[in-house]
Amino acid sequence: MVPFTVLAENLAFVPLPEGAVKDIRPVSSSGRLALSPDGGSVYLGDQGRQWRVHVPFGGSEAILLRADVKLEVQEVTNPPKAMTDGSRSVRSILSPRLSPDGRTMVFGAAGFLWKQPVAGGAQRIYHGETQEGELAFSPDGKELAFVLAEHGMCSLLLLNLSSGQAEKVALGGFGPG
């Protein structure tokens, strides 16, 4: 994994058309901002809190929040198993992609990736035991990039379609959506 550093940024007030820039609050992450209807305050999330920043003079105050949360958990289940016997029917096909040569269709179904000649007969592409998705062909159609979700993390894999060999090229945080 590649380490990252959070850089500080500044929330600035810029009176238009020819005013001078005035930094009014440093922020540690860029995110969504909301401006009050009267234009006198900016609301933002930073450092795990909600803030009200007074415009144009600066100065900020944390907005105290209270939430009553109820967490319901369920028993851990096993990852989905491959459909091998054809006894279950697939209810939805996700992200269908036609190969660059127009002869093969790849798609997601039941949490796994499948390939099928345009004439028919689908088969699994990759034989992992976890969720697969978010697929894309290489321009020459010889490789397929996809996301593999394992244990709450995801990996970007590059699969050579002729050899069936997959190479992990990147790691991330959340699985395929």
What pLDDT score does 16 carry? 60
Residues 6 or more apart whose Cβ sits within 8 Å of residue 157 = 126, 145, 146, 147, 148, 166, 167, 168, 169
Task: Judge contact between 42 and 33, C-beta under 8 A.
Answer: yes
Give the pLDDT band (50/70/90) at residue 15: low
Tell me the pLDDT tens digit for each residue of 113-142: 888 887 777 888 887 777 888 888 888 989
Counted residue by residue, the chain has a size of 177
The mean pLDDT value of the chain amounts to 75
What pLDDT score does 36 carry? 82
Radius of gyration of the chain (CA): 24
For the cut 60, the answer to whether the pLDDT of residue 1 exceeds it is no
Tell me the pLDDT tens digit for each residue of 53-76: 887 777 788 888 777 888 888 777
For the cut 60, the answer to whether the pLDDT of residue 83 exceeds it is no
